[in-house]
Amino acid sequence: MGLLTGKTALVTGATRGIGRAIALKYASEGADVAFTYRSQHEAAQSLVAEIEAMGVRAKAYTSDAASFEDAHKVVEDVKAEFGKIDVLVNNAGITKDGLMMRMDEAQWDAVIDTNLKSAFNFIHACTPIMARQRGGSIISMSSVVGVSGNAGQCNYSASKAGLIGLTKSIAKEMGPRGIRANCIAPGFIATDMTGALPENVRQEWEKQIPMRRGGTPEDVANVALFLASDLAGYVTGQVINCCGGMNC
């Protein structure tokens, strides 16, 4: 038996990078996995097949995570299909970087809506289900820049810092119902998002990391596995840095 055998997890934005690694890790530990995506249909179907090959159930749902109505519809459909939701991973996220003086309103709104409002949407939809179950784990993907800030990323940093405040508040509100809420704050992780950076920028990032390497999506997925499992049964309201020591 795996650490998540008998559990159902919902992961937002799971067709690539960290979300994909978490979905696969959960499936490998026995969880049925529902996940959302916005436009990458082929990648979504490939992930469904990969998960089902592990002997668990999987289903992909098209969703605009920033839409309150979409989020509630997805959660209703997942509950109808799987019967319950034990774990919610708020992973959907984008960047639209730029210096404050050059950033327009659309850049700000898009990042806040996708990264922060989406978490509110899915938490709002899932907590009644988890409350009736008298248990659940909510994991939101923050960032080290949500803790320390970063020049040129005021919108992204604000969205990730907002997730921390949201998580700590949910932990206090929902703890009496047996629902835990935690954040993971990844550092420099090798994904499509960081892969778009110039080589000299990546090298400078790595120099700041005590472990002298970027992290992998699997590194983050391992932390997400712990927080989803009963091993973390007394862990709530926390921000766990997964950054190779760059934010220690």
Q: Are 214 and 242 a contacting pair, CB within 8 Å? A: no
Token pair 């959660």 is at which residue? 75
Q: Which amino acid is at 29?
A: E
- Interior CA angle at 189 toward 213 and 200, to 5°? 65
Q: Are 132 and 79 a contacting pair, CB within 8 Å? A: no
Residue 170 CA to residue 43 CA, distance in Å, equals 32
Residue 93 CA to residue 191 CA, distance in Å, equals 12
- Other Cβ atoms less than 10 A from the Cβ of 112: the count is 17
Q: Which of 26, 37, 61, 156 is catalytic?
A: 156
61 is catalytic: no
Question: By CB neighbour count within 10 A (0-12 exposed, 13-18 middle, 19+ buried), where does 23 fall?
Answer: buried
| Positions marked active-site | 156
